[in-house]
Structure 1
Amino acid sequence: MEQLNPSDLKAILHSKRANIYYLEHARVMQKDGRVLYLTEAKNENQYWNIPIANTTVVMLGTGTSITQAAMRMLASAGVLVGFCGGGGTPLFMGCEIEWMTPQSEYRPTEYMQGWMQFWFDDQKRLEVAKQFQLSRIEFIRKIWDKDRDLKAEGFYLDDLDIQNALNGFEKKIPNLNKVGDLLLAEAATTKQLYKIAATRTGSKDFSRNPEQGDLANDFLNHGNYLAYGLAATTLWVLGIPHGFAVMHGKTRRGALVFDVADLIKDAVVLPYAFICAKEKMTEQEFRQQVLQKFTEHRAA
């Protein structure tokens, strides 16, 4: 069998790679020049190949281990490896995560350097924050206009209340001169979207409270953490430290994660939290629904 040299597997750019793996109760190892993970079934052990040349991230959850040889091959192919909390969600407020980045003096730096060119200029940082919000509005329009499941639940982009919420926010953005004012306008718009989703799904008297304990609030919490995990992984791959935020508090270590997650939260997590709550789905069913929509709409 021909041995593969991991250093020959860097042709696929990280932005073009197809795979993110989350593993539980598995052992990752190197065998015959390939990286495999082993799962224990009742009567036999099963091996599964990880195509490292086309993989961006391997996230190791509960009950996982990895051999030194596998780690060496993954690093050589530029794959990022992280130990994470249960469920594959990097919990910035629940548990400590240990991220490991392949150490290579040839690892691309253009994203980090490009980010830092504007970050220390308050005005440029405000302009990027505004661009984030415009992109957020555009993503909502794109998803709500083409998602058939949302239309089936009454989410039509040309409805007056949806138009008022998105257009009103879009018109305010150019005239805002402080990040604080932008945050207030963003919060007001999200509140309008909560009301829209609650109306469409018949959720009477809904109020956003992470501690409330009702299904809609629980699903919003869960879905937001999925978005945080996706945002954290994206920034990690690009090599941009999570502390260099443009919107959220610059004293928070993971603030940029929240900024990036906001680009997709309202478009996908918000409506489906209400829809799945109306249908009395389980946490696992909701999770699968959101992950499916992230994939379908290329949220990463």
Structure 2
Amino acid sequence: MDDFSPSNLKTILHSKRANMYYLEYCRVMQKDGRVLYLTEAKNENQYFNIPIANTTVLLLGNGTSITQAAMRMLAQAGVLVGFSGGGGTPLYMGNNIEWLTPQSEYRPTEYLQGWMSFWFDDKKRLAVAKQFQQARIEYLNKIWNKDRSLKSEGFTTQNNSIETALTRFNERMLVATKQSELLLTEAQLTKALYKFAANITKAEGFTRQHTSTDLANDFLNHGNYLAYGLAASCLWVLGIPHGFAVMHGKTRRGALVFDIADLIKDAIVLPWAFICAQENATEQEFRQQILQAFTDNKALDFMFDEVKKAALQTEHKTGENQ
């Protein structure tokens, strides 16, 4: 089979791509014009195909290696590649995921230029941060009230404590005069959502600990880093550097990734982390569930829409001009 040309590999827009992979204990290579990963079994080696044209992010965990030829094809397809600790999260010595972004000088510049047109103005940057927070709450309302699986588990915004928390958040968000005030009221909302989720899943004594070993915290960490992968892919495709955050610290190189990931974390990652912990799911089962939820609820589409809207301050149809 002949190698695909880069133009053939980019026919599926990133906002429409369905796959995000985490691999460990395998070797990623190119063979016959395809990208494969090889696992070593007791009796034989097994090869599995990676459909790179329909993939947004590839995370390589413990015990992995990748060939130069495979990286070339992944770059041609515009796949974001990262190395991580076990389970797709930086568990070992606080390692960060090192995102390997394909080098392309032909990505659109309109979104970066639009972003820069407001970013150096404190009031405009705060306005975009509030815009993201409003979109985040609208998305949470939409997902929690339409997803049958979540509703069957008790996750709905039609609850007195959640309605109160969302109303209080909206009121404080609208009158905030700086990013630090937004971060504080966001933390208060997230704390209320954690309490609600812990109550309905009977996770007694839950406290959010990023280094904890209980399942709920582990799944929250895992799901959040998968959301970071989607956010990083969205920003790379649109050509907006990760350091130009609107809410998280301006001194953190990847802060804009956190801003964009926050659009979907409360709506999808938070409830499924608690549900899967209650069901004593395995890490793989949780990963499959959360990735399916991202796809079902068009999380990447939503990220693209909101980032493009903020950059150009106009409404866009999903997927146009990527």
State whether TM-score is above 0.5.
yes
One-letter amino acid of the structure 2 residue matched with residue 241 of structure 1: P
Aligned twin of 1:33: 33
Question: What secondary structure is seen at the aligned counterpart in 1 of 2:48?
Answer: strand
User: Does the CA-based 8 Å contact 1:112-1:238 persist in structure 2?
Assistant: yes
Distance 2:204 2:102 in 1: 50
Counterpart of 1:141, as a letter, is N
Instruction: State whether structure 2 residue 299 is matched by structure 1 residue 273.
Output: no
Change (3 A) 1:203 1:233: same
- Partners of 2:216 and 2:79 in 1: CA distance: 36
Q: CA deviation at 1:213?
A: 5.0
Classify the secondary structure of the residue corresponding to 1:43: coil
Alignment of structure 1 residues 243-254 onto 2, 5 Å: 243-254=243-254
- Structure-2 change in CA distance of 1:290 and 1:79 (3 Å): closer
The separation in 1 between residues aligned to 2:211 and 2:2, in whole angstroms, is 56
Q: Secondary structure at the match of 1:136?
A: helix
Structure 1 residue 20: deviation in Å? 2.7
In the alignment, the residues of structure 2 paired with residue 63 and residue 284 of structure 1 have an alpha-carbon distance, to the nearest angstrom, of 17
- Which residue of structure 2 aligns with residue 107 of structure 1? 107
Deviations 1:122-166 (A, max 9, x none): 111101100111011011101110122222222233222222222
Contact 2:126 2:246 in 1 (8 A): yes
User: Which residue number corresponds to residue 315 of structure 2?
Assistant: none
> How many Å separate the matches in 2 of 1:265 and 1:186?
12
CA distance in structure 2 between the aligned counterparts of 1:21 and 1:287, rounded to whole angstroms:
10
CA contact (8 A) 2:244 2:255 kept: yes
Report the Cα offset of residue 196 of structure 1: 2.0
The residue number in structure 1 matching 2:261 is 261
Q: Which residue of 1 aligns with 2:168?
A: 168
Instruction: Give the drift of 1:197.
Output: 2.0
For 1:290 and 1:52, the matched residues in 2 are separated by 20
The answer to whether structure 1 residue 177 and structure 2 residue 173 are counterparts is no
Of 232-241 and 245-254, deviating more is 232-241
Closer/same/farther in 2, CA of residues 93 and 246 from structure 1, 3 Å limit = farther
The structure-2 alpha-carbon separation of the partners of 1:222 and 1:81, relative to structure 1 and needing over 3 Å to count, comes to closer
Q: 1:62 to 1:234 in 2, by over 3 A?
A: farther
Whether contact under 8 Å (1:90, 1:232) holds in the other structure is: no
Distance 1:172 1:108 in 2: 36
- The CA distance in 2 between the partners of 1:103 and 1:149, in whole Å, is 40
Give aligned pairs, total.
300
The change in CA–CA distance for 1:101 and 1:196 in structure 2 (over 3 A counts) is closer
8 Å contact kept, 2:25–2:39: yes
CA distance in 1, matches of 2:224, 2:34: 35
Distance 1:32 1:279 in 2: 42
Structure-2 residue corresponding to 1:134: 134
**TM-score, normalized by length of structure 1?**
0.85
* Counterpart for residue 124 of structure 2: 124
Label 1:106 to 1:172 Cα distance change in 2 as closer, same or farther (>3 A): same
Give me the identity figure in percent. 72
> Quick one: structure 1 residues 72 and 226, their matched pair in 2 at CA, closer, same or farther if it must change by over 3 Å?
closer
For 2:80, the aligned partner's letter is L
State the structure with more CA Rg. 1
Runs of at least 5 residues in structure 2 that lack an aligned partner in the other structure? 301-322
When normalised by structure 2's length, the TM-score is: 0.80
Q: Is the 8 A contact 2:139 2:264 kept in 1?
A: yes
Match of 1:197 in 2: 197
- Written as runs of structure 1 = structure 2, the 5 A alignment for 1:1-300 is 1=1, 4-89=4-89, 94-210=94-210, 213-300=213-300
TM-aligned CA distance change 1:209 to 1:88, over 3 Å: closer
Query: CA offsets, 1:51-101, max 9 Å, x none?
Result: 333333333322222222332233233333333333233679821433322
Between the aligned partners of 1:96 and 1:252, the Cα distance in structure 2 is: 12
> How many Å separate the matches in 2 of 1:233 and 1:254?
12
User: Which residue identity lines up with residue 291 of structure 1 in the other structure?
Assistant: L
